[in-house]
Homo-oligomer: A and B are copies of this chain.
Amino acid sequence: MPRSGEPKRGIRSGQRKARQSAPLNQIPRGQYRSPYAPFKIISDDELDAIHTASLTILQEIGVNFLLPEAREILRQAGADVENDGPRVRFDPAMVEETIKTIPPVFKFHARNPECSLIFGENYINIAAVGSPPHATDLDCGRRTGNFADFKDLLRLSQQLNVSQIICGHPVEPVDLPVNIRHLEAIRAVAILGDGPLFGYSLGRQRILDVIEMTRIVRAVSPEELVQQPSMMSIIHANSPLQYDIPMLKGVIELALHGQVICFTPFTLAGAMAPVSLAGAIAQQNAEALAGFTLSQLVRPGAPVIYGGFTSNVDMKTGAPAFGTPEYAKAVLIGGQLARRYKVPYRSSNVNASNAPDEQSVYESMMSLWPCFLTHCHLIKHGLGWLEGGLSASFEKMILDAEMLQMMVQFLEPVPINEAELGIEAINEVGPGGHFFGSAHTMERYENAFYQPLVSDWQNFENWQDSGSQTAAVRANGIYKQLLADYEEPPMDAAVRAELDDFVDRRIAAGGADQDA
Contact = CB atoms under 8 A, between A and B. Distances in A.
B271 A435 contact: yes
B358 A432 contact: no
Nearest to A427: B61
A416 B48 CA distance: 10
Interface in A459-513: 459-460, 463-464, 468, 470-472, 475
Given A329-B410, A333-B414, A358 B399 contact: yes
A441 interface: yes
B278 A415 contact: yes
A433 B240 contact: yes
A325 B450 contact: yes
B456 A359 contact: yes
Contacts of A207: none
A283 interface: yes
Interface stretch (A1-9, A35-43, A162-170, A177-185): A35-43
B432 A238 contact: yes
B449 A42 contact: no
Contact of A42 (B272, B326, B414, B456): B414
A174 interface: no
Contacts of A333: 414
Contacts of A360: 358
B416 A50 contact: yes
B456 A420 contact: no
Contact of A363 (B241, B359, B455): B455
A173 to B, nearest CB: 20
B278 A421 contact: yes
A176 interface: no
Contacts of A426: 57, 61, 240-241, 274, 279, 282-283
A272 to B, nearest CB: 6
A457 B406 contact: no
Contacts of A50: 416, 421
A276 B354 CA distance: 41
Interface string A433-447: 111101011001110
Contacts of A358: 356-358, 360-361, 399, 454, 470-472, 475
A29 B468 CA distance: 36
Interface string A275-310: 111110011000000000000000000000000000
Given A39-B39, A240-B433, A406-B366, A270 B441 contact: yes
A412 interface: yes
Given A41-B414, A425-B274, A471-B353, A406 B444 contact: no
A60 B112 CA distance: 55
A464 B56 CA distance: 45
B435 A272 contact: yes
Contacts of A279: 420-423, 425-426, 440
Interface string A259-279: 000000000011111111111
Interface stretch (A123-131, A188-196, A316-324): A316-324
A282 B471 contact: no
Interface in A33-64: 36-37, 39-42, 46, 49-50, 53, 56-57, 60-64
A172 interface: no
A61 B274 CA distance: 62
A24 interface: no
Task: Return the 3 tightest CB-CB contacts between A and B, nearest first.
Answer: A279-B422, A365-B365, A357-B470
19 contacts: A42-B413, A42-B416, A57-B426, A87-B431, A238-B432, A277-B420, A278-B422, A279-B423, A282-B421, A312-B449, A315-B445, A318-B436, A321-B450, A325-B409, A333-B414, A355-B468, A358-B358, A361-B365, A363-B455
Interface of A: 36-37, 39-42, 46, 49-50, 53, 56-57, 60-64, 86-87, 142, 238, 240-242, 269-279, 282-283, 312, 314-315, 317-321, 324-326, 328-329, 333, 352-366, 369, 373, 387, 390-391, 399, 402-403, 406-407, 409-410, 412-417, 419-423, 425-427, 429-436, 438, 440-441, 444-446, 448-450, 452, 454-460, 463-464, 468, 470-472, 475
